[in-house]
């Protein structure tokens, strides 16, 4: 919290996530958690002024409890289940969830700084910077880099992952889990996630009210399916793919 990466509620949520992770999976699981968290915080500090100017997206600045749970809740559940059963597939599911969170976070932090307008993953039409479901070349490259980064750490830490075929399988499986989860995030963000419209500013947004203070109306998606909910589903997708390789 002193580094202003988390709000007070986010700090407490992170403490719970970290405690569960360490208690259930020890140092290897904790290293995977840190491999997601530390670079993500560092990337969030790049281009702060431009990111603060994004008035249409749901949240910016320090992460709150909902954001912590959205990124780490599924992984924590996998860690807890692993601690109780020692089923290696749950360890890989844990890594897959964080690979998805890492890939999506890196894509967002880098993609919002890309030159030019991002485009919808569905129809490739230009959309406002920072809006869910948007993709850029730089963001996609960052997504792959984030998935591979987490996979490299996972290949060194996971049970039953070692040099040779097992290590390569871990590397490929966790990287694919990360890319699959981040892609699911974009697809859900461009389709069923809430998209709202601010009549005062005459522009789409993801908040109610808009940052201008005006009430907004739902124009697409499922009511209540926010960006945090989509992030949770994306990490679940990463966990499923990761467990399949386990």
pLDDT band, very low/low/confident/very high, at 2 (cuts 50, 70, 90): very low
Query: Taking Cα atoms as reference points, which of 134, 130, 168 lies closest to residue 151?
Result: 168
Tell me if 229 sits within 8 A of 195, measured CB to CB. Answer: no
Phi, psi of 232, rounded to the nearest 5 degrees = -60, -45
Rounded to an integer, what distance in angstroms lies between the CA atom of residue 150 and that of residue 95?
8
Query: Which residues are registered as beta bridge partners of 63?
Result: 6
Average pLDDT for 172-179: 95
Q: What percent of the chain has pLDDT over 70?
A: 93
Q: What is the mean pLDDT of residues 96-109?
A: 97
In sequence order, what are the residues at sequence separation of 6 or more whose Cβ sits closer than 8 angstroms to the Cβ of residue 74?
Answer: 97, 232, 235, 236, 238, 239
- State the DSSP code for 160: T
User: CA 57, CA 50: separation in Å to the nearest integer?
Assistant: 13
Q: Which of 3-7, 85-89, 236-240 has the highest mean pLDDT?
A: 236-240
Rounded to two decimals, the pTM is 0.94
Q: What percent of the chain has pLDDT over 90?
A: 76
Q: Please list, in sequence order, all residues whose beta carbon lies within 8 angstroms of the beta carbon of residue 129, skipping any fewer than 6 positions away.
A: 54, 112, 117, 118
Question: Which contiguous run of DSSP H or E holds residue 135?
Answer: strand 134-135
Helix (H, G, I), strand (E, B) or coil at 64: coil
Half-sphere exposure of 125 (CA within 13 A, CB side): 4
Name beta bridge partners: 220.
195
Residues with Cβ within 8 Å of 13's Cβ and at least 6 positions away in sequence, in order, are 64, 65, 68, 69, 72
78 or 116, which is more confident? 78
**φ, ψ at 126 (rounded to 5°):** -60, 140
- Provide the 10 A C-beta neighbour count for residue 62: 18
Over residues 31-60, the mean pLDDT reads 87
Residue ranges covered by each domain of the chain: 8-245
- Euclidean distance between CA atoms 83 and 226, whole angstroms: 31
How many angstroms separate the CA atoms of 206 and 59, rounded?
9
> Which residues, 6+ apart, have CB-to-CB distance to 8 below 8 Å?
1
């Amino acid at each position: 919290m002193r580094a202003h990466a988390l709000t007070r509620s986010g700090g407490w949520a992170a403490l719970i996530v970290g405690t569960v992770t360490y208690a259930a999976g020890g140092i290897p699981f904790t290293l995977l958690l840190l491999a997601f968290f530390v670079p993500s915080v560092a990337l969030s500090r790049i281009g702060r002024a431009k990111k603060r100017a994004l008035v249409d997206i749901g949240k910016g600045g320090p992460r709150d409890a909902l954001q912590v749970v959205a990124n780490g809740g599924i992984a924590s559940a996998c860690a807890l289940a692993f601690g109780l059963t020692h089923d290696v597939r749950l360890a890989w599911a844990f890594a897959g969830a964080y690979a998805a969170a890492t890939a999506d976070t890196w894509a967002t932090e880098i993609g919002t700084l890309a030159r030019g307008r991002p485009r919808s993953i569905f129809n490739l039409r230009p959309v406002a910077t920072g809006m869910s479901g948007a993709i850029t070349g730089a963001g996609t490259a960052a997504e792959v880099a984030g998935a591979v980064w987490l996979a490299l750490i996972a290949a060194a830490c996971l049970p039953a992952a070692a040099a040779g075929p097992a290590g390569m399988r871990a590397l490929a499986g966790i990287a694919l889990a990360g890319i699959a989860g981040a892609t699911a995030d974009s697809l859900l963000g461009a389709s069923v996630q809430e998209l709202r419209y601010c009549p005062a500013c005459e522009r789409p947004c993801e908040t109610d009210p808009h940052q201008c203070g005006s009430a907004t109306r739902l124009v697409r998606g499922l009511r209540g399916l926010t960006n945090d909910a989509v992030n949770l589903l994306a990490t679940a997708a990463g966990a499923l793919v990761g467990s399949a390789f386990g």
